[in-house]
Amino acid sequence: MIDQAILQQIYDLSLSSSIRENVNAFPLIESLHVLAITLVFGTILIVDLRLLGFASYRGSAATLIAELLPYTWIAFVVAVITGGLLFISNAVAYANNTQFLLKLVAIAIAGLNMMWFHSTAYRRIADWDADMPPPAAARFAGISSLIVWTLVICLGRWIGFTLELIF
């Protein structure tokens, strides 16, 4: 857990105050965050469905992953930046919100799942790239990813209904 004094210092930053006090700042940042998460989830969904064995018009899983991964990373960076700005606007409340903390854990699990996939099934993608269905390890990574990213989205929405606003 982050020290409450540090959270208060983050809350007291001029940028944090600007986001809180400007009537348009928070909704604009939140909208960009939602759009970025949508792109992250959308690109991951396409890859995960291919990993689960749904045919792609491209056919090759390797090609699909190579084409979509840059968009996923760009959108993820935008989501992290906008999420960080949302966090600093009310750091004390976010850091003490169970759903927010669970969302961060879910994002970490999604990252671990991605690392596991890339260190196992993806290393042998040349062996199964055109096969349907893909190997069990790829299917497991795909379904795990879909479940965890869906959880991230649900927890993100849940934050809005459980956050105790401190202004």
Q: Would you write out the chain's pLDDT as a tens digit for each of its 167 residues?
A: 678 999 999 999 999 999 999 999 999 999 999 999 999 999 999 999 999 998 776 678 999 999 999 999 999 999 999 999 999 999 999 999 999 999 999 999 999 999 999 999 999 999 999 888 899 999 999 999 999 999 999 999 999 899 887 65
What pLDDT, on the 0 to 100 scale, is given for residue 132?
A: 85
Asked whether 149 and 44 are in contact (CB, 8 A), the reply is: yes
What pLDDT, on the 0 to 100 scale, is given for residue 1?
A: 64
End-to-end CA distance of the chain: 21
Which residues touch 85 (CB under 8 Å, ≥6 apart)? 15, 19, 29
For residue 51, what are the CA distances in angstroms to 56, 114, 136? 10, 12, 9
